[in-house]
Amino acid sequence: MQCDEQAGVVVVGAGQAAGELAVALRAEGYEGRILVIGDEASLPYQRPPLSKAYLSGKVAADALLVRPAAAYERARVDFLLNSQVEAIDREARLLRLSDGRQVPYERLALATGGRARRLAVPGSDLRRIHCLRTLADVDALRDEFRSGRRLVIVGGGYVGLEVAAVAVQAGLQVSVLETASRVLARVTAPEVSAFYESLHREHGVKVLTGVEVAGFEPGECPVHVGEVLCKDGQRIAADLVIVGVGLLPNSELAEACGLAVDNGVLIDEYGLTSDPHIVALGDCANHPCAIYGRRMRLESVPSAIEQARTAAATLCGKRKKAESLPWFWSDQYDLKLQMAGLSQGYERMVLRGSFAERSFAAFYLQGNRIIAADVVGRPAEFMAAKRLIGEQVEVEDAQLVDASLPLKELLLAKASA
């Protein structure tokens, strides 16, 4: 077997977290070899635009790159792409690749990301049933994205709704099927769900909630999907299907080599796994969150970037905790939804602004503290909300509702108290 004798920091996975980590290592002063191994053909790229600007054709693949190739060359980062790591030998500090090669490491970073969850139902192997996770996934779908075609989207989460917005504006006939009683049920209040359901219906999307897929059947062509079968007996005609029902962390490598795993690779606040020579970051990592007092695995670009910087410091023998507030965004039609914090377990929702005017901030509270906010059309209030949540400022409902009272005054009041 061929063995690369030069060790250093090896990063398994070549997504955005990996790209950020590689450059952050140099910023922290690391001088050794950095090797990034990825199973795709591309340098690290941004995934959020895949279901929006890239799917719609507004941006090219090169525009998605986290950094151009020249930036990695200047940082002396090597890439081994189109390569699959099959096993980690922790005792020998050696990676075994699917082509027989072996790669040694001094320190290892797992940035293996996740994969789209698939439906285990009859007919799921028919053609023209897609998931959206990689550039290749979207390239395959774009060839079939034609005006007049009937598209069924399984899953009413952010990705499903973003795709629905792009598709209906491209002239497709779009249906969204959601198992829960409302779209975005895991992450928003019923009022916000209703706003987005109404928004999509206004644009011609058929939204069906409380519907569970039982299987798929072919159409006139026996190898292509033709109908979506629902457990309630509905049969929905489809020329193509997109399944958007969540992400599974790629933690099998970690589990196979004996690392602690539970809904992702378990790490501490410094990014370390149960092996002091291995860090993990990004979508595959399950980390403690001090703000909410629990562990979580976040599928979030800002979180991945912060974890990359934390992991880089750790690999260089420094201590830098990942402590920032989780935040996200979603573009649908001409509206940008910005989300700060996590709303699970909220006691009440307080609205500032108006759904009718498509300009609002929905605050999720426990007692007198905001734990999350969904904001549309109010970027300054989104920034203030992040600080109010992170600094655990106590507020009154009336202060949040009163749009004439700038949120920054609540921050100033705490600072002067």
Which listed CATH number (3.40.140.10, 3.50.50.60, 3.90.870.10, 1.10.3720.10) goes with 129-245? 3.50.50.60
What is the amino acid identity at position 155? Answer: G
Whether 42 contacts 133, CB under 8 Å: no
- Per-residue pLDDT tens digits for 4-24: 557 799 999 999 999 999 999
Q: Please give the structure tokens belonging to residue 112.
A: 């293996």
Query: Looking at residues 183-206, what average pLDDT do you find?
Result: 97
Residue 124 pLDDT > 70:
yes
DSSP state of 392: T
**Cβ count near 38 (within 10 Å):** 25
Give the integer Cα–Cα distance in Å for 176 and 205: 7
**pLDDT reported for residue 415:** 59
**pLDDT reported for residue 290:** 86
Show me where the domains of the chain are located: 8-115+248-315, 129-245, 334-416
- Per-residue pLDDT tens digits for 305-329: 999 999 999 999 998 888 888 999 9
Q: Please give the structure tokens belonging to residue 50.
A: 């895949």
Tell me whether domains 129-245 and 334-416 share a fold. Answer: no
What is the DSSP annotation of 121-150?
STTTTSBTEE--SSHHHHHHHHTT--TT-E
- Per-residue pLDDT tens digits for 396-406: 999 999 999 99
**pTM over 0.85, yes/no:** yes
Q: How many residues does the chain have?
A: 417
**pLDDT reported for residue 5:** 56
Whether 176 contacts 206, CB under 8 Å: yes
Query: Looking at residues 36-50, what average pLDDT do you find?
Result: 96
Residue environment code for 328-338, b if the CB has 16+ CB neighbours within 10 A, otherwise e: bbbbbbeeebb
Q: Which CATH architecture has domain 8-115+248-315?
A: 3-Layer(bba) Sandwich (3.50)
Fold of the CATH domain 334-416: Enolase-like; domain 1 (3.30.390)
Helical spans, DSSP H, in 274-337: 301-315
Strand segments (E) across 158-251: 173-178, 206-209, 213-218, 225-230, 235-237, 240-243, 247-249
Residue (of 233, 277, 270) closest to 254 by Cα position = 277
Q: Which residues contact 170 (CB under 8 A, 6 or more apart)?
A: 56, 145, 147
Angle at 245 between CA 243 and CA 249, to 5 degrees: 115
- Per-residue pLDDT tens digits for 290-310: 889 899 999 999 999 999 999
Q: Which residues contact 211 (CB under 8 A, 6 or more apart)?
A: 177, 178, 179, 230, 231, 232, 234
- Per-residue pLDDT tens digits for 239-275: 999 999 999 999 999 999 999 999 999 999 999 999 9
Give the integer Cα–Cα distance in Å for 111 and 52: 24
Query: Looking at residues 405-417, what average pLDDT do you find?
Result: 77
- In the sheet with 150-154, reading across from the earlier edge strand, the strands are 129-130, 240-243, 150-154, 173-178, 206-209
Give the per-residue SS3 of 43-89.
Answer: CCECCHHHHCHHHHCCCCHHHHECCCHHHHHHCCEEEECCCCEEEEE
Q: Which residues contact 351 (CB under 8 A, 6 or more apart)?
A: 191, 360, 361, 362, 363, 401
- In the sheet with 107-110, reading across from the earlier edge strand, the strands are 77-80, 33-37, 8-12, 107-110, 278-280
Residue 1 pLDDT > 60:
no
Give the integer Cα–Cα distance in Å for 250 and 154: 22
Give the integer Cα–Cα distance in Å for 372 and 187: 10
